Structure 1
């Protein structure tokens, strides 16, 4: 890994390694490698030590693209670890910022990073941002094709106000459902590319249910921890909460969640990547009671890879990830989730593992490479950009089949 550090005392500049022109435009008919800039949020290291969904996806994508032979530069926090070249900015913000600083200082630092990238845009064939809306203004300053993956929710008023101002910017959704909140807006959707992970270390752990229900994620209202506690109480099956409490959610945890924990609930806190496979594999089922339009939900594919079925509310991307009655149960309310706990033995652990195989790293990487090439001048099809408001369901990441 080659690293250059950038901090608040001055933005370091260095020239990205160039792929020789002969290799980029050879006459063999083989597609030439690309020079790709990946821009990650500064909140967590890439990959994160524990919680951090977007950062794990970016880490998987960078390593996968390098393995394919592409020249990848990752703009990310300085403690990141990657097979790509690392342009390091700041220390992970979650380690040192309180809630006020996250809202006031963090956006400025992200804009500072984008300004550095804009000055070097000519070093790359494609720029791929994972900063959601923060990167949008820079697309007007950068001649290099730039694509944004939207990792967050799109059903918020300020999102609906801002996105149409940049209607020609190529966007990638991480599920078809994510687009529904803005389906009436004139936007340019390049593709839906489902998130993917390297899940082999999950498959290597034998599935051996220890009889508890698992909950993995954040302690936040929209994630549904109170629903998980209720399901555990009504079924009599113990619950283990492997969850992180962000500074903004401390009051919610202390005032609403903690008082509901009885002897049937064990709060184990945030678990590391090394601890996750065993946690999932030893669970009777993983509860996914998110009560908001979750754009994807890595918890679901992690659980499936460990052979553990998922019991989820019918929200957001859940129907795109879980096959009802095969890899888990999709429920419309708490009563159905309680009933589903009694049906867990109907689910074959190997069917769960096969379901997870649909969301592997290779498919995600290939989906994004197809997007990158579609943006290059002279790309096949005659147009560097897809048509605005591309129909839901068009995916460059297949959603069926096995690796």
Structure 2
């Protein structure tokens, strides 16, 4: 190993040098006076779910994304299920989804009685491969639902063209896609609708579970508002119009006012925090550059309509992934394997006909991909420690 890539000295782990995979504690401490005031307002109002603060959040997200409708629900998975239902997907239908994604993408399709058809992804973006999606279309195919993962959008112009040519509904699992844009269109709005997840680790995270459906389709929005409240109402509004009138079987998927209040506060800092994530990603890029060929850092996959990068996760691909993860854990650094097996290997999904397409890119990523700590509270010194430990691991092995 040359002097330029000499193994750095890494102090032993201690309470002060440990680096969790995610932590938002510093931000909460910093902002506590304002957050406490918001919490007190909600407590004093006596309205704790689906109230005026939730409506304020919906309006703010709609304005930020350009969506005609933003429908708040209890979590991102509910948002997917409700979106599928609202778009008319049900028993007998097939929905093409990528094989490399969180389980909820496929399970949401099963929840509405439809069949997920799993196809391979592209290197770099880890998004649905349009060619593989087209090969998987059958007479039962009703929709395609790409996923925007980690730091960039799928190639939506190509996928929209594919859906249009075959008369398919285009939906988006844009759970990680807040502030991702392509061609002036926000993630989730290229087709009939998309979703956002506000799980605490997300780029815009709540105090707990919360989610949102985005759409420009009035009928999908109206159906979503009914479905989130057990199917109640003539238009699903929060007001008394249509109360205790149920047109269809829906869900109990209300957004808590406390979560909405926290998200409104976080929304004020989102641009600043997204910029901080980009700074940290650039720092990792620079520090890990000596390991090029052994450790692949995130890169923008080519797309017909390029998108911006928003680093929800900083994902590397590396040799001896599990050994590296164990090494980092032993030294106080949290990591996450995204995802340790493709959906085609999940016990619930593997027997399904839609799991029979070969997924070599997804299968390779499942053995090599590792998420490193990436959040606004992460300090430069913590990022440096993570990179130094990775350099030391591969340096000692050389």
Fold-level similarity (TM above 0.5): no
Tell me which of the two structures has the higher relative contact order, counting C-alpha pairs closer than 8 angstroms and 6 or more residues apart. Answer: 2
